Amino acid sequence: MITYFVISFLFSIFLWVNAPIVYVEPYCQAIGWHYILSSILFLFHKSRIQGFFNFYFFFLFSYGCVNYIHPILLYPDDKILHVFSIPYNHDLISYSLATAHVAIHLFMIGTFMNFSRHFFPKVKSSKVQYSDISFFERITLLVTIFFFFFIFFVLKRISGLQHQNPRIVIVIVALIAISFYLKTSFLSENRCLKLKDFFILNKMNIFSTFFFLISLFSIGSRSYGLNILLFIGGVINLYYCRFRFLQLVGVLVPMFIFMSVISITRLSPVNFSNSSVFTVFEYSYDYIIGSKDAFALLFTDFIVNNRNLYEEIDYSIKYGLLFGQTYIPYLFVIVPFGATLFSNYFLGKDLRQLNTGALITDINGAEVGLGSNAVGDLYMNFSYIGVFVMFFVFGAFVNYAMKSTSFYGRLLYFTLIAFSIYIPRADILSWLSLFMLMILFLCLRRVYVLYISILLK
């Protein structure tokens, strides 16, 4: 199988080297068909181990929607989405698509590499204590209930339902994820788990998740809700019950429709904050049926990030490379105000200037954030060389996490699954904040148990 992907990669390089300097529809369509073929073969090969509910399935789906739909199916009639009415360099479409195409094939080849013995540290497994499980379950339930009451009984009366600080929300996601994972890891040591065990033994965690998701969806926020659902789905698939392909489709299609409904209605007069669920779905259905561009509306959140790819490559051509400056904040992910202080005093830049999405938003004078693109983000920093190298390394890294059986290795893999849909729309390190937060919470709990609790006795 690796032979096919090497040949396929060489073909993608041939397409990239011969990329036209203007948009050519047959050229883009050829790349699209090649991507579909490579993705299907790759997924069937990789899904033999853990089934289709894995990082690769969601990542390739999102990557295809983000980078391929616009040049192949939508352009040049793309003004139906407001973001494409903002001027951009149309001549870069073919080259940008070809760059993303090479990158994904290098990612696929990277997943066949086994560098774990040489490059990735071997971490000892952590012994889970039942006291840790009880602690995190109770804390998580209290925090999510408080968040629920704050959203519906405080925020709604003061300023109306609106998005909350992402730093607060990611903390709650980390708590829920740790609580589920600790419980499952502990139970799996002594018994063979079945799907019914998930619902019977995780009642408190399920209640916590319910309160959290209801709160998020009511304010029109989907990303963090999707993160926690994918994390939990990864845990279920590996420990409780392997999802079959048809079961996976049966779960994902309604979930995709529900997320699209939230996207359509969050800024409309009819939404979950002021209407019943039935009314919201009825409004969304009428809105989609009444539009001749229903397909584009359903995939809007993916397609709009395609423009960012063109914009970010164009930025690097006009203004030069950033040489990794946008990744500096990740060095201070668990240090409060660390990234702000470092960027202000050592780089002389505001933290916003270290965000590729913010940079292209400001350059275009857009009223709302345009977001980013994983390929474009790397291109702005290190050009095409950085894109190709980092996607290959990222593929090897995901392969390492997927094969790991250690406590922290599996925690890492579930975190990657949680961000598998989001990464193509942002950057390849967007998962790091959640992972480091969970590690921090586990370390703080261990310090408390080993030292502070003894001193308090």
Residue 187 has pLDDT above 80, yes or no: yes
pLDDT at 456: 58
Give the number of other CB atoms < 10 A from CB of residue 447. 11
pLDDT at 27: 97
R_g (Cα) of the chain, nearest Å: 22
Give the number of other CB atoms < 10 A from CB of residue 334. 14
> DSSP letters of 406-424?
SHHHHHHHHHHHHTTTTGG
How far is it, in rounded angstroms, from Cα 365 to Cα 309?
Answer: 17
Percent of the chain with pLDDT over 70: 89
pLDDT at 47: 86
Q: How confident is the model at residue 299 (pLDDT cuts 50, 70, 90)?
A: confident
pLDDT, tens only, 366-416: 777 788 999 999 999 999 999 999 999 999 999 999 998 889 999 999 999
Q: Which of 357, 391, 355 is nearest to 373 (CA)?
A: 357
pLDDT at 267: 60
Provide the terminal-to-terminal Cα distance of the chain, rounded to the nearest Å. Answer: 60
Q: How confident is the model at residue 107 (pLDDT cuts 50, 70, 90)?
A: very high
- Region of 243 on the Ramachandran plot (φ > 0 left; ψ -120 to 50 alpha; else beta): beta
Helix (H, G, I), strand (E, B) or coil at 445: helix
Q: How confident is the model at residue 121 (pLDDT cuts 50, 70, 90)?
A: low
pLDDT, tens only, 17-37: 999 999 999 999 999 999 999
pLDDT at 78: 87
Instruction: Measure the CA angle with vertex 138, ends 147 and 406; round to 5°.
Output: 105
Residue 457 has pLDDT above 70, yes or no: no
Residue 454 has pLDDT above 70, yes or no: no
pLDDT, tens only, 190-240: 778 888 999 999 999 999 999 999 888 887 778 899 999 999 999 999 999
In this structure, is the dihedral angle defined by the CA atoms of residues 31, 33, 36 and 41, taken in order, positive or negative?
negative
Give the start-to-end residue ranges of the domains of the chain. Answer: 1-124+303-431, 130-296
